[in-house]
Amino acid sequence: MSISLDLSLLRSLVAVSRMGSISAAALQVGRTQSAVSMQMHRLEESLGQPILHRTGNGVRLTTTGERLLVHAERILGAHDEAVAEISGTGLYGSISFGCPEDYLTAFLPDILKGFSARHPAVEIEVVCAPTVELRPMLHRRQIDLALISLPAASNGTDILRPESFVWIASSPQPSILQQQVIPLALSASNTLDHRAACNAMDRLQMPYRISFASNSLAGLLAVARSGQAISVITRTATPPDLFILDDPMPVLPSIEIALSYASGSQSATVRTFGDYIHEQIRVH
């Protein structure tokens, strides 16, 4: 018996894989939750094998589902390229793009506006998360590409530009610098900026305490504005109402901004978006 795979079923499968739940995937593809659930059952019946593990916390792909996902993305990419070429409508399809919050604030408004003007038929979903969360999402193909942070001199193949961490505060000489133990507002302990700040303070043997911890850029900025702590963010993301501190704070290391793709082949739409990001923010 021949098996025919409906494109709409494959699109829903990709959405379910990326969102990790049928209800969230239903919102993305514009169907009801029951309709998407039925689509997954139809795929499983066609293949004669389960493609999803269903748990109380959502769903994840089985080994068969992972294999099918690779083919689904390739089939949908070829379909979208064919439609764009033959219809003359330009690029077509959807992209899931990951970006840390500081780069989103600094670069994304202009990038999204410019790319959408060139390719209005492309839908871009933005996933805002730190690099440590974006990397496994790329590995699991939950996102197509992402801007990530790397230590300086990483020798990565897609380095776009250098960046630096800076100390920020509500004034150029905040009174909390006179405290015996300096309060810091930092992101999570597994991030580059957190480690850079702690290592720099330890190197100069400057006593400190972490008074606020969050991966939210808005939260770090709010605490810095309150004058209750000194924070660390990228220079690019520093707003004009906050001050960059030098002496007596220790020197912080530089990093690099890189563009990373999900494993496997990329569609023409994803490649074109990646090229546009290069064009907009790469420093030659």
- Residue 116, domain member (yes or no): no
- Residue 217, domain member (yes or no): yes
- Residue 107, domain member (yes or no): no
Q: What is the pLDDT of residues 153-167, one digit of tens each?
A: 766 668 899 999 999
Residue 95, pLDDT above cutoff 60: yes
- Residue 101, domain member (yes or no): no
CA distances from 159 to 238, 250, 262 (A): 21, 26, 16
CA distances from 79 to 86, 94, 101, 125 (A): 11, 12, 33, 20
- Residue 115, domain member (yes or no): no
Q: CATH number, domain at 192?
A: 3.40.190.10
- Residue 283, domain member (yes or no): no
Domain carrying residue 216: 162-256
**C-beta separation of 154 from 260 below 8 A:** no
Q: Which amino acid is at 57?
A: N
What's the pLDDT band for 269 if we cut at 50, 70, 90?
A: confident
Q: CATH number, domain at 11?
A: 1.10.10.10
- Residue 150, domain member (yes or no): no
What's the pLDDT band for 1 if we cut at 50, 70, 90?
A: low
- Residue 95, domain member (yes or no): no
| H-only helix segments in 30-145 | 33-47, 63-87, 101-118, 131-139
Q: What is the pLDDT of residues 189-245, one digit of tens each?
A: 889 999 999 999 999 999 999 999 988 899 999 999 999 999 999 999 999 999 999
The pLDDT assigned to 264 comes to: 72
Q: Which amino acid is at 29?
A: V
Same domain for 168 and 82?
Answer: no
Residue 283, pLDDT above cutoff 60: yes
What's the pLDDT band for 66 if we cut at 50, 70, 90?
A: confident
How many structural domains compose the chain?
2
